[in-house]
């Protein structure tokens, strides 16, 4: 059954609600923690005929349970882990098919930016490079490999990054500079201190992946983007929205307004009544359907709050205070 479902994930140019219901019924049986969670909610999966009634598993379960919807005798091809903070639990995403992840991020990137082969990708992702198990590093490495002309990972080597960006600009390369927020701000500060003006091509993209990771004082997305626009001489700062527990990404081409690829959908839930979905335009907790999560769980309640608009685009407004849903976790401990 799972193989047949996998073949249909990327087949449609629009979100396939019928497929989502089939994936839900499959995971309601195959994923033991999700099955128990649904049972404790008193739901019969076969009576759920509207995706609005699908329950979303709190994403914290990836920290405390093996979220696995593949055959019991199948070993994961890899395990992605979250960064976490010292002493905190980290999420573990057991990935049964790395090929499925590769196809998801390649198609997702292509949906918004065209073929990765057309881009020279420069990455400032130090906090991810300094540990193992990062799904973001896996993604960027493989996107970079599709165009070996320029680019790479630069850790803290701002001198080399500047030289390589300048050379790529002079050669007319199509440039994507992707980085975690604090690393891009550090690089912007370096350019300012050195009196360097980058002259990137007009079609260059600077993309932040969020996160200060305790390295810098938190600032609003708007303030951060203004700083980066001035530093890099671009008209907009793009953003990537992804996480360890998801195999797909949403992208913003500016102003913090994210859009999803066709097999992914975001909605909101009432913060006081988490099983209650909200109408478009209402602020609430974010729920995400990621059909590429076929072998784990595709229906996740994320601990970010935001607004989803009528066309499916969404904004992230920050973390939900007291985000650890320990009451929900205790349901199936």
Q: What is the pLDDT of residue 196?
A: 95
In this structure, the answer to whether residues 268 and 229 fall within a common structural domain is: no
Tell me how far apart the alpha carbons of residues 94 and 181 are, in angstroms, rounded to a whole number: 27
Name which of 101-110, 215-224, 243-252, 294-303 the model is least confident about: 215-224
In this structure, the answer to whether residues 242 and 105 fall within a common structural domain is: yes
Residue 54 lies in a domain: yes
- Residue 255: band (very low, low, confident or very high) from pLDDT cuts 50, 70, 90: confident
Tell me how far apart the alpha carbons of residues 162 and 195 are, in angstroms, rounded to a whole number: 12
The residue out of 217, 252, 287 marking a domain boundary is 252
Q: What is the pLDDT of residue 72?
A: 85
The residue out of 188, 220, 252 marking a domain boundary is 252
In this structure, the answer to whether residues 198 and 229 fall within a common structural domain is: yes
Residues paired with residue 79 on neighbouring β-strands, in sequence order = 94
Print the domain residue range for 192.
Answer: 100-252
In this structure, the answer to whether residues 226 and 296 fall within a common structural domain is: no
In this structure, the answer to whether residues 241 and 110 fall within a common structural domain is: yes
The residue out of 229, 252, 275 marking a domain boundary is 252
In this structure, the answer to whether residues 125 and 65 fall within a common structural domain is: no
Please report, for the domain that includes residue 167, its CATH number. Answer: 3.40.50.980
- What length does the chain have? 333
pTM of the model: 0.93
At residue 178, does pLDDT exceed 90? Answer: yes
Q: What is the pLDDT of residue 221?
A: 85
- Residue 89: band (very low, low, confident or very high) from pLDDT cuts 50, 70, 90: confident
In this structure, the answer to whether residues 114 and 224 fall within a common structural domain is: yes
Nearest one of 57, 51, 55 to 18, comparing CA atoms: 51
Structural domains in the chain (count): 2
In this structure, the answer to whether residues 161 and 273 fall within a common structural domain is: no
At residue 253, does pLDDT exceed 80? Answer: yes
Nearest one of 152, 182, 184 to 165, comparing CA atoms: 152
Residue 95 lies in a domain: no
Residue 91 lies in a domain: no
Q: List pLDDT tens digits, range 182-221.
A: 999 999 999 999 999 999 999 999 999 987 555 566 678 8
């Amino acid at each position: 059954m799972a193989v047949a479902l996998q073949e249909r994930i990327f087949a449609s140019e629009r979100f396939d609600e019928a497929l989502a219901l089939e994936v839900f019924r499959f995971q309601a049986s195959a994923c033991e923690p999700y099955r128990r969670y649904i049972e404790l909610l008193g739901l019969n999966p076969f009576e759920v005929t509207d995706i609005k009634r699908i329950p979303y598993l709190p994403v914290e379960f990836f920290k405390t349970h093996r979220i696995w919807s593949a055959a019991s005798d199948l070993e994961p091809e890899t395990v992605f882990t979250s960064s976490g903070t010292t002493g905190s639990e980290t999420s573990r995403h057991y990935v049964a098919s790395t090929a499925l992840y590769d196809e998801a991020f390649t198609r997702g990137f292509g949906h918004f930016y065209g073929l990765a082969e057309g881009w020279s990708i420069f990455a400032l992702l130090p906090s991810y490079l300094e540990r193992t198990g990062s799904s973001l590093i896996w993604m960027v490495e493989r996107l970079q490999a599709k165009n070996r002309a320029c680019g790479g990972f630069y850790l803290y080597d701002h001198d080399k990054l500047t030289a390589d960006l300048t050379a790529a600009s002079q050669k007319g390369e199509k440039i994507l500079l992707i980085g975690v927020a604090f690393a891009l701000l550090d690089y912007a500060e370096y350019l300012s201190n050195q009196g360097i003006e980058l002259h990137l091509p007009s079609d260059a993209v600077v993309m932040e992946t969020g996160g200060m990771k305790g390295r810098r004082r938190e600032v609003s997305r708007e303030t951060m983007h203004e700083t980066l626009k001035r530093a890099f001489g671009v008209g907009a700062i793009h953003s990537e929205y992804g996480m360890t527990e998801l195999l797909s990404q949403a992208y913003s081409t500016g102003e913090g307004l994210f859009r999803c690829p066709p097999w992914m959908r975001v909605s909101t839930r009432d913060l006081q009544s988490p099983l209650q979905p909200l109408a478009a335009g209402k602020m609430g907790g974010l729920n995400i359907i990621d059909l590429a999560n076929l072998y784990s769980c595709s229906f996740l309640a994320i601990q970010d709050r935001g607004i989803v608009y009528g066309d499916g685009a969404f904004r992230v407004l920050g973390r939900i205070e007291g985000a650890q849903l320990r009451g929900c976790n205790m349901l199936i401990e």
